Structure 1
Amino acid sequence: MTTLTDIMTSELTTVDRGATLKEVALLMREQDIGNVLIMDGDTLVGIITDRDIVIRAVAYGHDLGTAASDYATGEVFSMDAATTVAEAAAEMAARQLRRLPVTRDGQVVGIVSLADLATRTQTGADEQALQGISQPTI
């Protein structure tokens, strides 16, 4: 069975909770990524996406010098690296998540995106598990 370890991106882009929206946006541009993890030491405290910056801050004319953590999603759901892709996809579908931080022994070691699930999995079971992600909830 394919696990999150097999498909995760292990090169993470992180900032501390004091990083500004502008600093995070520049990192996203430089690294051509859409999300950054916000850390307090070794502890994950939030995740901010390019969409968060645009919808929660820029659209309201907020100062880009403001801490990115003020606009991030806190209490981020994560799963252990040994979790199967099917289990992770089911959880992501149930929670309507597009990104899933991956942990090992409580430390963040990677991240899996919806695109990773779609492009890096090969079994029929994995494909079936993906069907519920990003579907409107009724």
Structure 2
Amino acid sequence: MVTVDIGSIMTDEVVVMDETQQVAYARNLMLRHGISRVVVVDADGKPVGIVTETDITRKLRVNGPDWKRRPIDKISIRRVMTENPITVNIGDTPRDAADLMLRKDVGSLLVMDGEELAGIVTKKDLLRFFKDRCAGRWKVRDLMTEDVKTVTPNHTLSHVISVMEENNISRVVVTDNGTVEGIITSENLSFATFEDPERGIPVERIYFISRTSEDKKRVRTIAMLTAGDIMTENVITVEPSVDASEAASIMLENSISGLPVVEDGELVGIITKTDIISGIQ
């Protein structure tokens, strides 16, 4: 069997931004390139951090210092990025990368060739490797997570975010009497735009806004927004008996990171990119 190294599966075109730039610039890069993370570099082009959709969602919640209430074009990327990103050597194997991601609980690794940044390897890259190289090894039931975190369509966005933060997860399934109605991910939260029903004005990241009573004339609270307002409907599901490589293929084809697992119409689990890469041996 031919040995595969990280250099052959990594993404070598890395989207970077300078550490002196603002959160709004990172957001625009993500939207423009259809990516979920940007590498932050210093004046010499050396990696000093990485910022993801999840960083933006979790670190810009209004609770805490006043800087969190500023417009995102006024917040330094250094406020929200993860410093000292974890790296892997270009000659390491996909299993090395998968093990490191799982151990460090990260979604990507910078790939170094000596002292130089050569690329980035993400869970998506490893998912593609799994699809091509691991067919027939695992069923969905072997790798899925059975303890699925769920909310109902009527739960508030504050509750949704709390569930995601408390359980360190990037998605929750929206159910109604056990039936899958939708799914909410970090991407839904990071780039959602809602219309303020009183003013008819699109307000980005309205879920970050939570003001005291004396401010309520100036800014509308998010209390009226629910999981049903933001969830992705018509969710793609998979059965537990399906080959895990097929689940990986479905995720890649539809640019999604997780599939609710349904058996006889009932939610029995969820399989994510993280679950699948745990099967790389």
TM-score, normalised via structure 2 length: 0.41
**Structure 2 match to 1:13:** 149
Write the mapping of 1:1-138 to structure 2, written as runs, cut at 5 A: 1=136, 2-57=138-193, 60-62=204-206, 63-65=221-223, 66-122=225-281
Equivalent residue letter for 2:245: A
- 1:73 partner SS: coil
Using the TM superposition, give the Cα deviation of residue 33 of structure 1 relative to its aligned residue in structure 2, in angstroms.
1.2
Give SS of 2:260's match: strand
Cα deviations by residue, 1:89-109 (Å, 9 ceiling, x for unpaired): 122221122111111111111
- Distance apart, 1:54 and its partner CA: 2.2
Letter in 2 for 1:82: S
What percentage of aligned pairs have identical amino acids?
30
Structure 1 counterpart of 2:125: none
Hey, which bits of structure 1, 4+ residues long, moved more than 3 A?
A: none
Matched AA of 2:182: G
Distance 1:51 1:34, change over 3 A: same
* Structure 1 position 28, deviation (Å): 1.0
Cα distance, 1:121 vs structure 2: 3.8
Larger radius of gyration: 2
3-state SS of paired residue (2:192): helix
Q: Alignment partner of 1:111: what SS?
A: strand
On the 8 A contact 1:57/1:71 being kept in 2, the answer is: no
Structure 2: give runs of 5+ residues left out of the alignment: 1-135, 195-202, 207-220
**How many residues matched?**
122
What is the distance in 1 between the residues matched to 2:226 and 2:205?
A: 14
- 1:129 — aligned with what? none
* 1:57-98 deviations in Å (ceiling 9; x for gaps): 587142432012211111100010000012111222211221
Determine if contact 2:151/2:227 at 8 Å carries over to the other structure.
no
* Kept after mapping to 2: 8 A contact 1:4/1:81: yes
CA contact (8 A) 2:190 2:205 kept: no
TM-score normalised by structure 1 residue count: 0.81
Tell me, yes or no, if the aligned pair for 1:52 and 1:71 is still in contact at 8 Å: yes
Higher RCO (CA 8 Å, separation ≥ 6 residues): 1
Q: Gaps (5+ residues) in structure 1?
A: 123-138
1:119 maps to a residue whose letter is S
